[in-house]
Amino acid sequence: AAGVIQSPRHLIKEKRETATLKCYPIPRHDTVYWYQQGPGQDPQFLISFYEKMQSDKGSIPDRFSAQQFSDYHSELNMSSLELGDSALYFCASSLVLQETQYFGPGTRLLVL
Amino acid sequence: GNSVTQMEGPVTLSEEAFLTINCTYTATGYPSLFWYVQYPGEGLQLLLKATKADDKGSNKGFEATYRKETTSFHLEKGSVQVSDSAVYFCALSDRRDDKIIFGKGTRLHILP
C-alpha cells in the first residue's frame, strides 16, 4: 500500500540558512500534519492542514511556515536555521474525521 | 490539558519473555488511543489503536485494552522476539483537535 512520502530524507544546513521539507500524503488523504522529534525526545506537533487551510497549530516557531497545495502535498519552510532545529521532522496524513494518522519516514535535518 | 505518561525505559528482556509497557492518559474528552513503534533509524509505525472504552487493539502479537476506569492503555505481548527491539510510544488523539500527543517513549531491548 502507498505510504506517506517525505523528501529529502536527510538534509544538512548551516546556521541561518533556509530549508524546505516536502510531504506527499497517502492518496486520497486530505489532512497533513507536521511533527518535530528532537534527539531522544517524543514527537511534538507543529502544524496541520485540511483542504489547504491551516487547521491547527502547535509549537511551531515563527521562523517556520508551512502550506498545503491543491494536490494535497505540503511543504515546511524553515528559515534562519538554528542548531536547535536539528531534529527528525515527520509528516503524517489522514482522512479528516478519521483520527488515525499515518507517518512518513521522516526528514533528518542537521544544522551545523 | 491532555497528556500521556508511559513507563520509562530502557526495558531489557530475554527472548520469549512476557512484555508489559504501562501507559496512562489524562484527557478531558473521549480520546482515541494508539501505540506507535519506531525501529532504529526509521519512522513511526502505527502498531495498534483503540477508539472507545473496552476496545482491544491488537497487531503482531501485541495487545492493549482501552480502560476508561483506570485511564490506561498498557501494551502487552506474550513472547517477545529480538526483532521487537524498538522504541514504543503511547499516544492519544482527541476529536476536538488534530494533533496526536505522545508519551516520552519506552526503549525496549530484547536479548537473544
pLDDT in tens, B57-109: 999 999 999 999 999 999 999 999 999 999 999 999 987 777 899 999 999 99
**Is residue A33 over pLDDT 90?**
yes
The helix (H) or strand (E) run that includes residue A57 is strand A53-57
Mutating which of B51, B98, B102, B106 best tests the A interface, going by the most A Cβ atoms within 10 A? B98
Length in residues, chain A: 112
Please report the pLDDT score of residue A27 as a whole number. 93
Neighbouring C-beta atoms of residue A79, cutoff 10 Å: 14
Using a CB–CB cut-off of 8 Å, the residues of A that contact B are 31, 33, 35, 41-45, 48, 50, 55-56, 58, 90, 92, 99-106
B36 inside 8 A of chain A by CB: yes
Contact between chains at A56 and B45 (C-beta distance less than 8 A)? no
**Is residue B42 over pLDDT 90?**
no
Å between B39 CA and nearest CA of chain A: 11
Average pLDDT over residues A46-59: 91
- The whole-angstrom distance between residue A96's C-alpha and the CA centroid of its chain comes to 17
Contact between chains at A100 and B49 (C-beta distance less than 8 A)? yes
Task: Please tell me which residue of chain A has the smallest CA distance to B46.
Answer: A102
Please report the pLDDT score of residue A97 as a whole number. 63
Higher per-residue pLDDT: B95 or A21 = A21
Neighbouring C-beta atoms of residue A71, cutoff 10 Å: 9
The conformation of residue A1, written as its DSSP 8-state character, comes to -
Task: Give me chain A's average pLDDT, please.
Answer: 93
Closest partner CB to B104 (pick from A35, A42, A104): A42
Contact between chains at A103 and B36 (C-beta distance less than 8 A)? yes
The residue assigned the cell 486520497 is: A28
Task: Reduce the secondary structure of chain B to three states and give it as a string.
Answer: CCEEEECCCCEEEECCCCEEECEEEECCCCCEEEEEEECCCCCEEEEEEECCCCCEEEECCEEEECECCCCECCEEECCCCHHHCEEEEEEEECCCCCCEEECCCEEEEEEC
